[in-house]
Structure 1
Amino acid sequence: MQLEKELLRQKIKELLIEIVSIYTPSGEEERAKDFFDKISKEFNLKLEITKTNSYLLGEGNILLASHIDTVPGFLEPKVEGDIIYGRGAVDAKGPLVAMLLATYLLNEKGYKVQFAALSDEEGKSKGARELVNSGKKYDYIIVGEPSNTYDIIIEYRGVLHLDVTCRGVPQHSSSAKDNLIVNIAKNILEVYRPPINYDDFSIVPTVIKSGDYINVTPSEAYLHLDIRYSVKNSKNEILNIIKEKFRECSISIVEDIEPVKVSANSELVKSLMRGLIKQGHKPRLARKAGTSDMNILKNITQEIATYGPGNSSLEHTDNEKISIDEIFIALNTYINAIEELCLKKK
């Protein structure tokens, strides 16, 4: 048994170093094709490569879904003992490797489980949207994101991305009685809500562009607003605040992802908790302030939750690192949880 454990840990290390060495920022997920071709043959799992360059392995009504894309900025992989450094080590190639091996081991035991390495999670979630639009349904979906190895995520906030375009009358700056930049700035200060409390929505300006000449007030201004809100907030009320303050401007919704919250007493969440307890670890329920593919994939399953190895505070940083221990714990948590769910259905 100890030998099997060491061989599995070696396989985790081998796969993680290999996949972290492949630079796959959003939009360049096709770089991983040879990796998944090889894995498909080695693990005897049917491979499907989708139009968005997502990778599906195996078949079944239980889905282990992580994402293959990363934020931009390649980091040269580095190994220090059982710690692996590199872009995506935490978000989310560590969780991906744990799910990949869990899928293989579960299928070897006769359980029908599918694995997905989805594309564009760091962008517009093209892979998750494509899967939802494919018509596939699952009894259970576990989303593989870093959740500090012991946290089970049952809630994500929703997001609204708004483009606001305002127009004014250009005037010479030496005699201008009105200024579009000043007007926009006043409105921004009135609607701005910093992200302080999880259950209070936030409105954060992230981009503003205006003006063409150094001595002429602008005729147009562009503003982007990033809005985050929980299930306790009303999206329409938030939009009405923006519309009221920018009523002379045109407002376009460029992204609209609803918040998601699942019951702490769902069978999937309880199985994940017991999957950790079985290994002697104490699980925790948690919620995240951002969004993930869970917000989208919730539409094609009866039960969903997010769980994965890795310190979430290291996501998108230049110090992404994860240990083999963390991935090994997550791998066994996935296996324990899915075996329990499948046995209950018999």
Structure 2
Amino acid sequence: MQLEKELLKQKARKLLEQLLSVYTPSGQEGLAKGIFQKIADELNLNLYVTSTNSFFLGDGEILLASHIDTVPGYIPPSILGEEITGRGAVDAKGPLVSMILASWIMNERGCKVQVGALSDEENKSAGARELVSSGKRFSHIIVGEPTNTTHIAVEYRGLLRINVNCHGKPEHSSSATDNIILKYIPAILESSQLPSQYSSPSIVPTIVRSGDSPNVTPSDFYVHFDVRYPYGISEGDILSKISEKFEGCDLTVGESIPPVKVGPSTPAVRALMRGLLQQGVKPSLVRKGGTSDMNLLISITPSIATYGPGDSRLEHTEFERITLDEIYIATLTYVNALEELCLKH
């Protein structure tokens, strides 16, 4: 099969328009089932639908894993020349389209590859967690997220969602002897740490609640911290720091995802680098400030990396857009990388 550029770009346009036409925020991924069945039929790939509404196309021991869910806020798809806009165009239906096309090409060539459109990545990664707990193993995994088309992500920070509940004594505000708000606002300021440099954790308060009466001091005080921390930082140290500031309060962890880091000699990383170099594109290895399904999927295989088309600065914005050229470059990168990984498998 020749990788005829215009043919692939037209297929990419059609596939992406289909996927963007269905609004699939986290929890509503099942709405895309009909689209995936149509894609599976057209590309001669088996379709598997899981209990979390993740969609798997094809069979194989190499996995291309992106996600089908998006953040809330529908943006209708539109096409202007070779640029496509719409909710999920960048994160991550554009990368998913490149992966579907690469899988189709490689399966036709005899290299068995599976594509996973995982669910709930923008929420609590139910699809990735389901895959990990299934016991399924892969020799290599490439995670499809926007990495500016020329970058390969080898590190993601970990995630902690910390809930702090404090309790005080309600009194009439005109004669109060204590105030739980005044007591714990300094603790928020002393615990917090805005994103400044990659090597330091960010500890950001995102929700603060207290009180329900205009003339009674509150009996409860709640704050939620969204924490992102790099490889090499201890989760326990972060929890101890916050607990020390909120002495007497109850701390619970709502979600915990460890950081992930792989080296440049990892087979998946090396294959992607060469996949770009074969096109005359110089690759760059990058670290990402957030988290992704890669943080969880590394437990399945150590040969893992993240790569995909699209400008990562447009993720979760009202201006999601991607070009067919970006999708084409990414498709060829996946194909080149898969050819190398299949030979080693």
Give the TM-score normalised by the residue count of structure 2. 0.98
1:312 counterpart residue number: 312
Structure 1 residues 3 and 48 mapped into 2: Cα distance closer, same or farther (>3 Å)?
closer
CA contact (8 A) 1:179 1:217 kept: yes
1:38 counterpart residue number: 38
Give me the CA root mean square deviation: 1.1
CA contact (8 A) 1:165 1:251 kept: yes
1:294 counterpart residue number: 294
What is the letter of the counterpart of residue 116 of structure 1? Answer: G
1:198 counterpart residue number: 198
CA contact (8 A) 1:138 1:302 kept: no
- How far 1:45 sits from its partner (Å)? 1.1
CA contact (8 A) 1:94 1:309 kept: yes
Q: Are 1:177 and 2:173 counterparts?
A: no
Q: For 2:45 and 2:2, locate their aligned partners in 1 and report how far apart those are by CA, in whole Å.
A: 26
Q: For 1:184 and 1:246, locate their aligned partners in 2 and report how far apart those are by CA, in whole Å.
A: 7
Q: Are 1:217 and 2:217 counterparts?
A: yes
What is the letter of the counterpart of residue 82 of structure 2? Answer: D
Find the residue that maps to 1:138 and give its secondary structure. coil
CA contact (8 A) 1:66 1:95 kept: yes
Deviations 1:247-299 (A, max 9, x none): 21111100000000001111211110010010111100001000000000010
Find the residue that maps to 1:300 and give its secondary structure. coil
Q: For 2:255 and 2:344, locate their aligned partners in 1 and report how far apart those are by CA, in whole Å.
A: 39
Q: For 2:46 and 2:147, locate their aligned partners in 1 and report how far apart those are by CA, in whole Å.
A: 29
- How far 1:3 sits from its partner (Å)? 8.7
What is the letter of the counterpart of residue 32 of structure 1? Answer: A
2:127 counterpart residue number: 127
- How far 1:155 sits from its partner (Å)? 0.1
Q: For 1:194 and 1:208, locate their aligned partners in 2 and report how far apart those are by CA, in whole Å.
A: 16
1:72 counterpart residue number: 72
Unaligned runs of 5+ in 1: none
- How far 1:2 sits from its partner (Å)? 8.7
2:269 counterpart residue number: 269
Q: For 2:87 and 2:3, locate their aligned partners in 1 and report how far apart those are by CA, in whole Å.
A: 30
Matches within 5 A, 1:59-208: 59-208=59-208
Find the residue that maps to 1:159 and give its secondary structure. strand
Q: Are 1:326 and 2:326 counterparts?
A: yes
Deviations 1:20-73 (A, max 9, x none): 111000000011000011111111111110000000111111000000000000
Find the residue that maps to 2:51 and give its secondary structure. coil
Find the residue that maps to 1:299 and give its secondary structure. coil
Q: Are 1:256 and 2:256 counterparts?
A: yes
CA contact (8 A) 1:106 1:335 kept: yes
What is the letter of the counterpart of residue 108 of structure 1? Answer: E
Find the residue that maps to 2:231 and give its secondary structure. coil
- How far 1:175 sits from its partner (Å)? 1.3
Q: For 1:135 and 1:344, locate their aligned partners in 2 and report how far apart those are by CA, in whole Å.
A: 23
2:284 counterpart residue number: 284
Q: Which moved more, 1:184-193 or 1:90-99?
A: 184-193
Q: For 1:341 and 1:99, locate their aligned partners in 2 and report how far apart those are by CA, in whole Å.
A: 15
Q: For 1:18 and 1:258, locate their aligned partners in 2 and report how far apart those are by CA, in whole Å.
A: 35
Find the residue that maps to 2:299 and give its secondary structure. helix
Structure 1 residues 101 and 2 mapped into 2: Cα distance closer, same or farther (>3 Å)?
closer
CA contact (8 A) 1:204 1:225 kept: yes
CA contact (8 A) 1:29 1:54 kept: yes
Q: For 1:139 and 1:107, locate their aligned partners in 2 and report how far apart those are by CA, in whole Å.
A: 16
Q: For 1:64 and 1:306, locate their aligned partners in 2 and report how far apart those are by CA, in whole Å.
A: 10
Find the residue that maps to 1:224 and give its secondary structure. strand
- How far 1:153 sits from its partner (Å)? 0.2
Q: For 2:72 and 2:41, locate their aligned partners in 1 and report how far apart those are by CA, in whole Å.
A: 30
- How far 1:335 sits from its partner (Å)? 0.5
Q: For 1:164 and 1:188, locate their aligned partners in 2 and report how far apart those are by CA, in whole Å.
A: 10
Q: Are 1:239 and 2:239 counterparts?
A: yes
- How far 1:302 sits from its partner (Å)? 2.9
- How far 1:342 sits from its partner (Å)? 1.4
1:22 counterpart residue number: 22
2:344 counterpart residue number: 344
Structure 1 runs (4+) deviating above 3 angstroms are: none
CA contact (8 A) 1:99 1:334 kept: yes
